[in-house]
Amino acid sequence: MSAPASRGRFIAFEGGEGAGKTTQSRLLADALERLGIAALTTREPGGTPGAEALRGLLLDPELDWGARAEALLFAAARSDHVEKLIEPALAAGQWVICDRFLDSSRAYQGGAGGVDDDDVLALHAIGSGGLLPDLTILIDLAPAESAKRAKIRDGNASDRIGAKDEAYHAAVRERFELIATDAANRFVRIDGSGDPGDVHARIMQAIVPLVEEA
Ligand code: TYD
């Protein structure tokens, strides 16, 4: 009988709109594969059929969710994602790279939406057993640059949350900073300016310890 696979590592990307999380998730997964590490990329809200269905509801510009309802729905989507995709992959020894996770709920629904951080964490405890990433990569980008990139990407078709006003997105950024400072043991901050190759190089430097201990 072969030995059970050692548990994979869980890496989350966080940051505001247009910060480059999706591009960087893919570049990181490719780089890990080249190092012989099997890596799965996924995203939130989404990643499983049920969570993708909730994503459609959450981001629909025709709907008008309040921050508390959003927090519940994001937690429900996350619960399905963790149970059906993330935990099984980690248990099988795969590394999981997730484009947004819990800290997005803490920054958007909490920091910008006004839901108490303890309540967001309580929903996460109920839904997902409190699972935390081994490493959270916060890509920071100045608001003007981030708005410019999001505009190029989305034109006038940004989703319901992306379309919220400047003050909302400033509060998101501020809360991400606070969370990263508070949980410095599982966060790295990465400067998101420059071209994708530059940002990727900064990320590779930051994940050396995780790769070395694997
Ligand atoms: P995403 O598609 O990653 O947007 P972007 O590519 O612009 O970063 O995420 C969709 C939106 O959902 C984004 O505006 C952030 C928001 N969101 C929350 O408000 N709370 C959450 O818990 C998550 C995961 C995302």
Average model confidence (pLDDT) across the chain: 94
On the question of pLDDT at 192 being above 80, the answer is yes
Binding-site residues, ligand 1, Cβ < 6 A? 17, 21-22, 44-45, 59, 74, 99-100, 104-105, 108-109, 159, 161-162
Testing ligand 1's pocket by substitution, the residue of 21, 101, 161 carrying the most ligand atoms inside 8 A of its CB is: 161
Whole-prediction pTM value?
A: 0.95
**127 pLDDT higher than 90:** yes
Lowest mean pLDDT segment, chosen from 52-56, 134-138, 155-159, 167-171:
155-159
Q: Once rounded to an integer, what is the mean pLDDT over residues 134-138?
A: 98
Written as one string, the DSSP assignment of 70-136 is HHHHHHHHHHHHIIIIIHHHHHTT-EEEEES-HHHHIIIIIIIT---HHHHHHHHHHHHTT---SEE
pLDDT at 155: 78
Q: Return d(Cα 40, Cα 167) in angstroms, integer.
A: 34
Relative to the CA of 43, which ligand 1 atom is closest? 3
Nearest CA to ligand 1 atom 11: 161
pLDDT of residue 67: 97
**Atom 4 of ligand 1: nearest residue by CA position:** 17
Closest listed residue to residue 94, CA positions, set 133, 132, 41: 41
Confidence of residue 101 (pLDDT cuts 50, 70, 90): very high
Task: Quickly count helices (H) and strands (E) in the chain.
Answer: 10, 5
Is residue 160 pLDDT above 90, yes or no? no
What is the bridge-based pairing of β-strands 187-191 and 135-140? parallel
- Write down the pLDDT at residue 1: 58
Which whole number is the average pLDDT over 56-67?
96
Sheet holding 95-99, edge to edge: 39-43, 95-99, 10-15, 135-140, 187-191
| Average pLDDT of the segment spanning 165-180 | 95
Distance 44 CA to ligand 1 centre (A): 7
Q: What is the pLDDT of residue 45?
A: 97
